[in-house]
Amino acid sequence: MASNICTRLEIAIFMVGFVCANLVLPMCGNISEVFEYNWAPNHIISQGDQIKLTLDNVSGCGFESKKKYLFGQASVQIKLIEGDSAGTVTAFYFLGNVSGEPYLVQTNIYVNGTGNREQRHTLWFDPTLDFHTYSFFWNRHLIVFLVDGIPIRVFTNKEDKGVLFPRQQAMSIRGSVWNADDWATQGGKVKINWTNAPFFSTFRSFIIDACELLPETDDIMAQCGKLGRFWWDKPAFVVLNRHRSHQLKWARRKHLVYDYCKDKARFTELPRECIS
């Protein structure tokens, strides 16, 4: 999960990793160099280029990037908890489920402390059997969430319509696994079965390509906000191309199971970004 105090992007696929702004080249970061274990480190197992996050009835755990970033792309490969994982959450927001039921990938966007922009998708594969790639692309025009390179959600900058968009605050990158059985599975109806513990989610292959906020200055716009400096500012990345647009339509048609923009019972007045 990427976050700072006021702005957060949550993805059931999230981004984890980024590269130095001065390099402008993607790279696979060494886990210990890029991240620190900031929550229950005794529940985190490092195995080469992988980290295994553990949840038991004592604690979950999590990690966070040592640096912050503005704009770019990042991806991580994740293998989710096997078997009955009801009530668990792997952030990158995967909502666990009872055996045989589909996993849900939840995405959310927080700007200035306000979220409530959830979408939930099923996946077209079993995410517990093998690693799959979950990616995040972010520039001043849009935010794209991808699974194995297929876009499942796009959040477009609509500041001209009074919609807040995260483009001036650097974000750290986080991953975690934790107990959320008060809401994660069937609205909290299905609780964690602790006889199946410990639960493991494994992360690997962090690929980073973003603008890093250097420690000697806090002027992030001077470092990362100059238009045209980075590849993600090129015209080709203002909107999805035709192929990606078709993929997005397929993902929405086949796998979108909840969209806050359609939840009229929740919102007496739909958020502005939901109105074309």
Per-residue pLDDT tens, the chain, 276 aa: give them.
333 333 344 433 222 222 222 223 334 456 777 888 888 999 999 887 889 999 999 999 998 888 888 999 988 899 988 887 776 667 655 655 656 677 888 898 888 778 889 999 999 999 999 999 999 899 999 999 999 999 999 999 999 999 999 888 888 888 888 887 787 677 788 788 889 889 999 999 888 899 988 876 667 788 887 778 899 999 999 999 999 999 999 999 999 999 999 999 999 999 999 987
Q: Which residues, in sequence order, are CB contacts of 216 under 8 Å at separation 6+?
A: none
Residue 261 belongs to a domain: yes
Residue 17 belongs to a domain: no
Provide the domain limits for residue 149: 5-10+35-274
- Adjacent-strand bridge partners of 229: none
91 vs 216: CA distance, rounded Å: 30
Q: Which of 106, 103, 97 is nearest to 123 (CA)?
A: 103
Residue 255 belongs to a domain: yes
Question: What's the pTM value of the predicted model, to 2 decimals?
Answer: 0.85
Q: Which residues, in sequence order, are CB contacts of 134 under 8 Å at separation 6+?
A: 11, 12, 13, 14, 15, 75, 76, 77, 78, 92, 105, 145, 146, 147
Residue 26 belongs to a domain: no
The CATH code of the domain that includes 139 is 2.60.120.200
Instruction: Please give the C-alpha separations between residue 226 and each of 139, 140, 221, in angstroms, as whole numbers.
Output: 12, 11, 7
Residue 123 belongs to a domain: yes
**How many folded domains does the chain comprise?**
1
Residue 136 belongs to a domain: yes
- 149 Rama class: left (phi>0) / alpha (psi -120 to 50) / beta: left
Q: Which of 190, 44, 195 is nearest to 104 (CA)?
A: 190
90 close to 201: Cβ distance less than 8 angstroms: yes
Residue 244 belongs to a domain: yes
Residue 30 belongs to a domain: no
The residue behind tokens 């470092």 is 223
